């Protein structure tokens, strides 16, 4: 008697918790969709605006659908209208940015990996101070180093050049990349290094043969971080370069702000998207490796 | 010629002294275990032998050659680590031959060594696998294999079984013992596990606070501990140390606790120094397994103690008795029934007893 009473009340409870769960789940989805739309909305506006003609933009609303795939504004943003003076378009500056980003990301990541390796696996007296001062670099605001950096670039004779920007971004990136690699390598057992030393491997061999091959996850993190930082940088670009040597963000700014005649919103939007695409690609490509735990179970039991 | 000899070795990290004037040597083919609680300096000592740590004072000799300033790879040693330290990005084969490749060994020789060792350790089926695809025991075996292919003069083991589960640990322990029996290579083995030390070592050096407390055969360590630290560290439960004084009574020596009528005669004890024994404050040491519930030997000494506590652990029970307000533990078969709170007749095997100076804590 009592048993059946119990079981029926359990059933009620079970039913009740089922409904509660269902409600909470739908509520969760609702919130998530709300936030997702909030973030996707600007992108939507940019994409549709870039596909409209100026006529449509003037007559329609912000949200209205374009009449067709009008990609002329994209062509203008990328390659210009074809007349001489005063025609600013993104193509040359895009390549400037690539020429700046690739070496800067490579060198800052590589140097960061090296420093992280030394700071964790070849400890020396006072290494924690070196690390502390490197960390300081993460907290120094960009603006504070503009003048000394400009002077340095002048002395080196590489101001207003892509090489100059590569140097600036590499140097400014090292504190961050070092932090990443140091925190990663500290979890790699030092016994690996000891074993390799007994096996006769030296400083560089251990780095290239033992540590770098297991660093894929942190390399991806660092590359994403550095690429985004350097690609999106405006301050260094606008301070240390002008005219032909400028990176894409500076060119985008010039293009949007300096047009004297009518504001061409469709071209502006297309340019902004073009300037943003590479970071997006890096996220999509590297994100896959991001979650792969390449060292999982390799060193521990 | 000693295979390994350590002379007056000292090491400090900053202001902390980790090793203090260590002297140690091993004969060819011996199995030396460095045993001690964590932080006693045993791993540091092993790293120094390997050449992975620098020395502040003293020297390390391998085959009478001073290797104190020689690189690890040139010391003719191989090391097996607690975390196995297999290179995660290389497969088993690459892991095992990495050292030989660094040493520019000929391809034929490498292949020959690899085949010999991988067959011997039964890892020849695993050569193409990555360390992450191996079980704990297999990883351990590969780690040993990586050490074996180098054909070193001395094997160094740094707590190699600590990462394995209890069952596998016992298995691998037997395998290491067999390995040593077959190869007869000199071994230095670091552990904090006394069972491992006892079962593997031909010699055990017990360390505490950077000093070697006793370096002896397992039998001597167990039966004749040289101080209270060793007596307490070895054995489970550890040796009973009863504090009292020695009294001379018409030529016979008695151990007694002040304020108690319990007396134990000390006869045929092998004193290091027979003088000044009267009124000396001492610890009387007897292992729980040398206290019996009935008379086994003619010389067993009968004493009445109150039983306070019984801990049942299956095949045996550990009883706690009261000896003039000091706890005395004894190990009995679990089939024996002893009433708690009552005086019980016990028999001490006095041939197995130890005496320590209460001040210096050294064996007397």
State the smallest CA–CA distance between residue A130 and chain B in angstroms: 18
Q: Place A95 in a pLDDT band, splitting at 50, 70 and 90.
A: very high
pLDDT for A83 equals 66
Alpha-carbon distance of A40 to A12, in angstroms, equals: 42
Q: In this complex, is the C-beta atom of B163 within 8 Å of any C-beta atom belonging to chain A? A: yes
CB half-sphere exposure, A71, CA atoms < 13 A: 5
B228 and B252 part of one domain: no
A75 and A97 part of one domain: no
For A240, the token pair is: 């240390």
DSSP code at position B342: S
Q: Is residue A301 part of a domain?
A: no
Domain limit, last residue, from B164, B199, B233: B233
Query: For residue range B76-86, what is the model confidence (pLDDT) as tens digits?
Result: 999 999 988 99
> Among A82-96, B132-146, B226-240, whose mean pLDDT is lowest?
A82-96
A162 and A254 part of one domain: yes
Q: Which residue segment(s) compose the domain that A158 sits in?
A: 91-290
Q: Is residue B32 part of a domain?
A: yes
- In this model, does residue A293 exceed pLDDT 70? no
- In this model, does residue A295 exceed pLDDT 90? no
Q: Place A85 in a pLDDT band, splitting at 50, 70 and 90.
A: low
Q: Is residue B334 part of a domain?
A: yes
Considering only alpha carbons, which residue of chain B is nearest residue A200? B73
Considering only alpha carbons, which residue of chain B is nearest residue A193? B85
Q: Is residue A300 part of a domain?
A: no
Q: Domain tally for chain A?
A: 2
| Helix or strand (DSSP H, E) at B317 | strand B316-323
A71 and A99 part of one domain: no
- In this model, does residue B309 exceed pLDDT 90? yes
Q: Place A300 in a pLDDT band, splitting at 50, 70 and 90.
A: very low
B57 and B120 part of one domain: yes
Q: Please count the residues of chain A.
A: 301
| Helix or strand (DSSP H, E) at B204 | strand B203-208
Q: Is residue B204 part of a domain?
A: yes
Considering only alpha carbons, which residue of chain B is nearest residue A205? B102
Q: Is residue B364 part of a domain?
A: no
Q: Is residue B216 part of a domain?
A: yes
pLDDT for A2 equals 57
* Residue (of A88, A85, A62) closest to A266 by Cα position: A62
B185 and B57 part of one domain: yes
State the smallest CA–CA distance between residue B137 and chain A in angstroms: 9
* Residue (of A94, A67, A114, A80) closest to A215 by Cα position: A114
pLDDT for A210 equals 94
Q: Mean pLDDT over all residues of chain B?
A: 92
A73 φ/ψ angles, rounded to the nearest 5 degrees: -65, -35
- In this model, does residue A301 exceed pLDDT 80? no
State the smallest CA–CA distance between residue A218 and chain B in angstroms: 15
For A183, the token pair is: 């925190």
- Which carries the bigger pLDDT value, residue A62 or residue A249? A249
pLDDT for B239 equals 95
Sign of CA dihedral A95, A98, A99, A100: positive
| Helix or strand (DSSP H, E) at B175 | helix B166-183
Q: Is residue A136 part of a domain?
A: yes
Domain limit, last residue, from B181, B208, B233: B233
B255 and B229 part of one domain: no
Is residue B126 a contact partner of residue B134, using CB atoms and an 8 Å limit? Answer: yes
Q: What is the ipTM of this complex?
A: 0.84
Q: Place B312 in a pLDDT band, splitting at 50, 70 and 90.
A: very high
* CATH code for the domain of B123: 3.40.50.300
Give the best residue of A217, A293, A301 to mutate against chain B (max B CB count within 10 A): A301
Coil, strand or helix at B84: coil
* CATH code for the domain of B249: 2.40.50.140
- In this model, does residue A261 exceed pLDDT 90? no
Residue carrying structure tokens 């269902």:
A22
Contact B99 A297 (CB under 8 A): no
pLDDT for B96 equals 95
pLDDT for A257 equals 81
Contact B130 A298 (CB under 8 A): yes
Sheet with B291-292, strands from edge to edge, namely: B291-292, B343-348, B301-312, B316-323, B326-333
A36 and A132 part of one domain: no
Q: Mean pLDDT over all residues of chain A?
A: 86
Q: Is residue B362 part of a domain?
A: no
Q: Which residue segment(s) compose the domain that B261 sits in?
A: 240-357
pLDDT for B298 equals 85
B104 and B59 part of one domain: yes
Tell me what percent of the residues of chain B surpass a pLDDT of 90.
Answer: 76
Q: Which residues of A touch B89 (CB under 8 A)?
A: 209-210, 213-214
Q: In this complex, is the C-beta atom of B275 within 8 Å of any C-beta atom belonging to chain A? A: no
B167 and B75 part of one domain: yes
State the smallest CA–CA distance between residue B181 and chain A in angstroms: 24
Alpha-carbon distance of B246 to B244, in angstroms, equals: 7
State the smallest CA–CA distance between residue B199 and chain A in angstroms: 24
A6 and A72 part of one domain: yes
Domain limit, last residue, from B207, B233, B259: B233
A110 and A176 part of one domain: yes
DSSP code at position B202: S
Angle between helices A248-258 and A265-290 (to 10 degrees): 160
Q: Is residue A296 part of a domain?
A: no
Is residue B37 a contact partner of residue B61, using CB atoms and an 8 Å limit? Answer: no
DSSP code at position B363: B
Query: For residue range B29-46, what is the model confidence (pLDDT) as tens digits?
Result: 999 999 999 989 999 999
Tell me what percent of the residues of chain B surpass a pLDDT of 70.
Answer: 100
Measured distance between the N- and C-terminal CA atoms of chain B, rounded to whole angstroms? 33
pLDDT for A67 equals 82
Nearest to A194 among B71, B85, B98 (CB): B85
Contact A210 B87 (CB under 8 A): yes
Q: Is residue A24 part of a domain?
A: yes
Q: In this complex, is the C-beta atom of B160 within 8 Å of any C-beta atom belonging to chain A? A: no
B247 φ/ψ angles, rounded to the nearest 5 degrees: -125, 135
Global pTM reads 0.82
* CATH code for the domain of A172: 1.10.3720.10
Contact B47 A194 (CB under 8 A): yes
* CB-CB neighbours of A73 under 10 Å: 23
pLDDT for B252 equals 84
Q: Is residue B86 part of a domain?
A: yes
Q: Which residues of B touch A203 (CB under 8 A)?
A: none
Query: For residue range B47-76, what is the model confidence (pLDDT) as tens digits?
Result: 999 999 999 999 999 999 999 999 999 999
* Residue (of A120, A102, A100) closest to A112 by Cα position: A120
Is residue A180 a contact partner of residue A108, using CB atoms and an 8 Å limit? Answer: no
Q: What is the DSSP code string of chain A?
A: -HHHHHHHHHHHHHHHHHHHHHHHHHHHHHHHHHHHHHHHHHHHHHHHHHTS-HHHHHHS-SSPPPSS---HHHHHHHH--S-STT---SHHHHHHHHHHHHHHHHHHHHHHHHHHHHHHHS--TTHHHHHHHHHHHHHS-GGGGHHHHHHHHHHHT-TTSHHHHHHHHHHHHHHHHHHHHHHHHTTS-HHHHHHHHHTT--HHHIIIIIIGGG-HHHHHHHHHHHHHHHHH--HHHHHH--GGG--HHHHHHHHHHH--SS--HHHHHHHHHHHHHHHHHHHHHHHHHHT--TTTTTS--
Domain limit, last residue, from A30, A45, A79: A79
Alpha-carbon distance of B70 to B75, in angstroms, equals: 7
Specify whether the backbone of B14 is left (phi greater than 0), alpha (psi in -120 to 50) or beta. Answer: left
Q: Is residue A85 part of a domain?
A: no
Alpha-carbon distance of A144 to A45, in angstroms, equals: 36
Query: For residue range A213-258, what is the model confidence (pLDDT) as tens digits?
Result: 989 888 988 998 899 999 999 999 988 887 888 899 998 888 888 6
pLDDT for A294 equals 39
- In this model, does residue A60 exceed pLDDT 70? yes
Nearest to B78 among A192, A198, A294 (CB): A198
Query: For residue range B148-177, what is the model confidence (pLDDT) as tens digits?
Result: 998 999 999 999 998 888 888 999 999 999
**What angle is formed at CA A206 by the lines to CA A203 and CA A212, rounded to 5 degrees?**
120
Q: Are strands B240-249 and B281-286 parallel, antiparallel or unpaired?
A: antiparallel
Q: Are strands B343-348 and B301-312 parallel, antiparallel or unpaired?
A: antiparallel
A61 and A102 part of one domain: no
- In this model, does residue B319 exceed pLDDT 70? yes
- In this model, does residue A7 exceed pLDDT 80? no
A65 and A102 part of one domain: no
- In this model, does residue B285 exceed pLDDT 70? yes
For A255, the token pair is: 């293009």
Q: Which residues of B touch A210 (CB under 8 A)?
A: 87, 89
pLDDT for B345 equals 92
Average pLDDT over residues A169-174: 93
B214 and B301 part of one domain: no
State the smallest CA–CA distance between residue A298 and chain B in angstroms: 4
B61 and B185 part of one domain: yes
Average pLDDT over residues B305-312: 93
Give the burial class of B155: count Cβ atoms within 10 A of its Cβ; 0-12 exposed, 13-18 middle, 19 or more buried: buried
Q: Which residues of B touch A295 (CB under 8 A)?
A: 88, 132
DSSP alpha helix (H) spans, B245-300: none
Considering only alpha carbons, which residue of chain B is nearest residue A215? B89
B228 and B246 part of one domain: no
B77 and B162 part of one domain: yes
Q: In this complex, is the C-beta atom of B15 within 8 Å of any C-beta atom belonging to chain A? A: no
A222 and A190 part of one domain: yes
pLDDT for A259 equals 59
Alpha-carbon distance of B239 to B355, in angstroms, equals: 11
B225 and B258 part of one domain: no
For A206, the token pair is: 């251990």
DSSP code at position B219: H
Q: Which residues of B touch A297 (CB under 8 A)?
A: 132
Alpha-carbon distance of B45 to B53, in angstroms, equals: 9
For A127, the token pair is: 């290494």
Q: Which residues of A touch B82 (CB under 8 A)?
A: 191
Is residue B48 a contact partner of residue B55, using CB atoms and an 8 Å limit? Answer: yes
For A144, the token pair is: 């504070």
Contact A194 B50 (CB under 8 A): yes
Give the best residue of B85, B101, B110, B162 to mutate against chain A (max A CB count within 10 A): B85
B54 φ/ψ angles, rounded to the nearest 5 degrees: -85, 165
Q: How many CB pairs under 8 A join A and B?
A: 82
A169 and A70 part of one domain: no
Q: Is residue A38 part of a domain?
A: yes
Average pLDDT over residues B273-288: 88
Q: Which residues of B touch A200 (CB under 8 A)?
A: 73, 99, 102-103
For B12, the token pair is: 């400090």
Q: Domain tally for chain B?
A: 2
- In this model, does residue A134 exceed pLDDT 80? yes
Q: Is residue B363 part of a domain?
A: no
Domain limit, last residue, from A23, A57, A79: A79
B228 and B254 part of one domain: no
Average pLDDT over residues A139-148: 89
Residues of A with CB under 8 A from a CB of B: 189, 191-192, 194-201, 205, 209-210, 213-214, 294-301
pLDDT for A233 equals 92
A130 and A221 part of one domain: yes
């Amino acid at each position: 008697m009592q048993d059946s009473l119990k079981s029926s009340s359990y059933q009620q409870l079970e039913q009740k918790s089922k409904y509660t769960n269902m409600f909470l789940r739908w509520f969760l989805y609702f919130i998530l969709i709300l936030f997702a739309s909030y973030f996707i909305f600007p992108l939507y506006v940019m994409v549709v605006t870039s596909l409209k003609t100026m006529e449509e933009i003037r007559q329609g609303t912000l949200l209205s659908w374009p009449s067709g795939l009008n990609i002329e504004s994209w062509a203008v943003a990328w390659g210009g209208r074809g007349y001489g003076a005063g025609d600013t378009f993104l193509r040359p500056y895009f390549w400037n940015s690539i020429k700046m980003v690739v070496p800067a990301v490579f060198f800052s990541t590589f140097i960061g990996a090296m420093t992280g390796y030394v700071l964790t696996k070849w400890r020396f007296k006072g290494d924690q101070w070196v690390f502390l001062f490197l960390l300081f670099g993460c907290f120094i605001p960009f603006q504070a180093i503009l003048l000394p950096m400009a002077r340095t670039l002048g002395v080196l004779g590489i101001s207003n050049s892509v090489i100059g920007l590569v140097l600036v971004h590499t140097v400014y990136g090292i504190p961050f990349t070092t932090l990443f690699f140091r925190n990663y390598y500290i979890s790699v057992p030092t016994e690996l290094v000891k074993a390799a030393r007994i096996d006769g491997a030296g400083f560089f061999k251990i780095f290239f043969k033992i540590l770098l091959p297991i660093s894929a996850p942190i390399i991806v993190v660092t590359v994403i971080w550095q690429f985004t930082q350097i690609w999106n940088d405006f301050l260094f670009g606008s301070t240390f370069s002008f005219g032909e040597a400028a990176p894409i963000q500076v060119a985008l700014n010039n293009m949007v702000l300096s047009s004297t005649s009518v504001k061409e919103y469709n071209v502006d939007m297309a340019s902004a998207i073009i300037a943003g695409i590479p970071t997006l690609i890096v996220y999509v490509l590297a994100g896959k490796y991001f979650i792969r735990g390449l060292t999982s179970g390799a060193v521990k039991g | 010629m000693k295979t390994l000899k350590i002379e007056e070795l000292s090491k400090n990290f900053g202001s902390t002294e980790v090793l203090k004037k260590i002297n140690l040597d091993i004969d060819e083919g011996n199995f030396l275990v460095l045993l001690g609680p964590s932080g006693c300096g045993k791993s540091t000592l092993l790293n120094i032998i390997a050449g992975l740590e620098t020395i502040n004072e003293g020297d390390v000799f391998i085959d009478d050659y001073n290797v104190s300033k020689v690189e690890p790879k040139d010391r003719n040693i191989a090391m097996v680590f607690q975390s196995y330290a297999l290179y995660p990005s290389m497969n088993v084969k690459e892991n095992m031959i990495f050292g030989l490749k660094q040493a520019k060994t000929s391809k034929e020789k490498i292949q020959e060594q690899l085949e010999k060792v991988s067959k011997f350790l039964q890892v020849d089926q695993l050569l193409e696998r990555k360390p992450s695809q191996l079980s704990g025991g297999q990883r351990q075996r590969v780690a040993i294999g990586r050490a074996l292919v180098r054909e070193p003069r001395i094997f160094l083991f740094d707590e190699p079984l600590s990462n394995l589960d209890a069952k596998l640990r016992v298995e691998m322990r037997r395998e290491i013992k067999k390995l040593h029996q077959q190869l007869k290579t000199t071994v230095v083995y670091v552990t904090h596990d006394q069972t491992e030390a006892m079962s593997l070592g031909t010699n055990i050096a017990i360390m505490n606070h950077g000093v070697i407390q006793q370096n002896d055969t397992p039998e001597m360590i167990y039966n004749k501990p040289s101080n209270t630290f060793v007596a307490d560290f070895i054995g489970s439960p550890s040796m009973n140390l009863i504090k009292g004084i020695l009294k001379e009574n018409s030529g016979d020596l008695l151990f007694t606790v002040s304020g108690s009528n319990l007396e134990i005669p000390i006869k045929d004890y092998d004193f290091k120094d027979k003088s000044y024994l009267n009124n000396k404050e001492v610890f009387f040491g007897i292992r729980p397994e040398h206290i019996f519930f009935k008379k086994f030997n003619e010389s067993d000494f009968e004493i009445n103690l109150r039983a306070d506590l019984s801990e049942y652990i299956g095949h045996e029970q550990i009883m706690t008795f009261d000896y003039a307000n000091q706890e005395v533990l004894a190990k009995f078969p679990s089939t024996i029934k002893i009433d708690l709170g009552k005086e019980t007749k016990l028999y001490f095997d006095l041939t197995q007893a130890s005496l320590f100076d209460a001040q210096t804590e050294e064996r007397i």
